[in-house]
A and B are shown apart, each in its own frame.
Chain A
């Protein structure tokens, strides 16, 4: 009598297990399939992020030396023409520099935020602010709310390493197509692999330089300089301001590319570390479940056998 009870209970348990729909056929008490799949995908993600980190690190090393070497280029202009972030002019052009690809932390959104704030700062009655955007990511963000004020948009800059000639062609293109009194170049200056400083460089148009010099405004001491060459003073100032823009833009593009690689490197580093942590947790769950299922089965078999014996 007791034997049949035992067998009955065993069969009942077995059929109950079969009734559970989401468990695949032939699987034992608790399925580990889902956890295993999850582990595999996390492992693959970790491999990808590690590889991306390596790529960013090698690119960073190349571009860091170039960015650091280009830092001398803008300093003479700032020494001569001064630094004029608060200059009040009618036509402002904000040149936002961003990256083409994502997965590089917050550098693009920082640049966009700063550009928007500068837009608010420079806008006013009978004033005009336009955007010139370099890079895909800033375009995607700025096109939402200020589509009308975007004049030029250039992407795919970072595909090949940039040199000064290419940047000056770019600068020429910008200068020909926009009317400006002041150009505000917004970029992330590279400080270290984990820190980037949002920076705004201002380049004034020759007319504004002349006006500020004459009115003894912000560039008062430019008047004491003797100007050699060229037909007129205006012509030299025109050349000077165009040259300044190309130099500042060159440095800005370099710094931003460097920041991008640095940010990508640290972002990928932290995401591969996260993937590692996640993998550890999943492995623990997996092993526990496996252990539990083995224990359950053993208990069942032993209790079944015990029931038969008695």
Chain B
């Protein structure tokens, strides 16, 4: 029971005072990243086979520990929105995100059920107060965690206002023509993907 006190204390402080929260969130004996047990077995087995080399680090060593699930639903949802060449949003607290999942548009509010969803080409909108930011996504995955954190991993994304209407129409026409002249299954599939993306683009511009 006493082992838990530091954590409980830190939690009660964290809710009242913002600056101390950073110190409280440091990995202490109780709130290390989720996998301390495994790491020790790995290190032990590593010592047996290669006592002269230090065990390699694993990704969790470079990651900030994620917050634990709070008992009450927070008022904001924390969004991480990453691309291969940039992190668009990092731990940003927003009101709501609407995600183009393959099963349809999905609104994610704080306290959403933990979900893994695949994305299709479409519009991601990030609602922050009255401010709405719209991005067009190509494809990727979304993970909504129980602690009201949403991770959006996307291959390519652009703000909707930077898409050119004329080029979209031209691309759509091109791919429609390609589909009609396609002979192999692969060509057909490629043309179909092109059409899907372009029609999603044009509907994003229209909507």
Interface assignment of A113: CB less than 8 Å from any CB of chain B = yes
Residue of B nearest to A237 (CB): B116
Q: Least Cβ distance of A63 to chain B in Å?
A: 12
Contact A72 B146 (CB under 8 A): no
Residues on the B chain within 8 Å of A86, using CB: 38-39, 41-42, 45
Interface assignment of B162: CB less than 8 Å from any CB of chain A = no
Residues on the A chain within 8 Å of B102, using CB: 228-230
State which of A143-151, A171-179, A239-247, A281-289 sits at the interface with chain B: A239-247
Cα(A197)–Cα(B54), bound, Å: 10
Contact B118 A229 (CB under 8 A): yes
Contact A164 B41 (CB under 8 A): no
Contact B82 A236 (CB under 8 A): no
Residue of B nearest to A81 (CB): B143
Q: Least Cβ distance of B194 to chain A in Å?
A: 16
Contact A198 B41 (CB under 8 A): no
Residue of B nearest to A199 (CB): B57
Within 8 A of A (CB), among B29-44: 33-35, 38-39, 41-42
Contact B49 A189 (CB under 8 A): no
Cα(A248)–Cα(B101), bound, Å: 23
Interface assignment of B140: CB less than 8 Å from any CB of chain A = yes
Interface assignment of A114: CB less than 8 Å from any CB of chain B = yes
Contact B153 A76 (CB under 8 A): yes
Contact with A along B45-70 (1 / 0, CB 8 A): 11001100110111110110010000
With A75-B82, A250-B84 in contact, do A239 and B118 touch (Cβ < 8 Å)?
A: yes
Q: On chain B, which size bracket covers the interface?
A: 35 or more
With A66-B85, A79-B151, A86-B42 in contact, do A202 and B58 touch (Cβ < 8 Å)?
A: yes
Q: Least Cβ distance of B203 to chain A in Å?
A: 19
Cα(A253)–Cα(B42), bound, Å: 24
Contact with B along A188-209 (1 / 0, CB 8 A): 0100000001111110000000
Residue of B nearest to A78 (CB): B59
Contact B80 A75 (CB under 8 A): yes
Contact B57 A226 (CB under 8 A): no
Q: Which of B39, B80, B103 contacts A85 (CB 8 A)?
A: B39
Contact with A along B137-149 (1 / 0, CB 8 A): 0001101011001
Interface assignment of B87: CB less than 8 Å from any CB of chain A = yes
Contact A73 B103 (CB under 8 A): no
A-B contact count (CB 8 A): 148
Contact A224 B146 (CB under 8 A): yes
Contact B145 A79 (CB under 8 A): yes
Contact A164 B84 (CB under 8 A): yes
Interface assignment of A218: CB less than 8 Å from any CB of chain B = yes
Interface assignment of A6: CB less than 8 Å from any CB of chain B = no
Cα(A197)–Cα(B153), bound, Å: 25
Residue of B nearest to A76 (CB): B151
Residue of A nearest to B151 (CB): A76
Cα(A163)–Cα(B85), bound, Å: 8
Residues on the B chain within 8 Å of A218, using CB: 35, 38
Contact A72 B80 (CB under 8 A): yes
Cα(A76)–Cα(B152), bound, Å: 8
For B66, B80, B84, B116, the residue with the greatest tally of chain A CB atoms inside 10 Å of its CB is B84
Interface assignment of B155: CB less than 8 Å from any CB of chain A = yes
Known interface pairs A79-B66, A229-B101; 6 further A-B residue pairs with C-beta atoms within 8 A, sorted by A's residue number: A77-B153, A164-B84, A197-B56, A202-B58, A226-B113, A247-B153
**Which residues of A does B touch, CB under 8 Å?**
66, 69-80, 82-86, 113-114, 117-118, 120-121, 163-164, 186, 189, 197-202, 218, 224-230, 236, 239-240, 243, 247-248, 250
CB<8 Å pairs between A and B, sample of 29: A69-B85, A70-B85, A74-B59, A75-B82, A76-B80, A76-B151, A77-B153, A78-B60, A79-B145, A80-B143, A83-B33, A83-B34, A83-B58, A84-B35, A113-B50, A113-B53, A117-B46, A117-B53, A164-B155, A200-B56, A224-B114, A228-B116, A228-B118, A229-B118, A230-B118, A236-B118, A239-B118, A243-B153, A247-B153
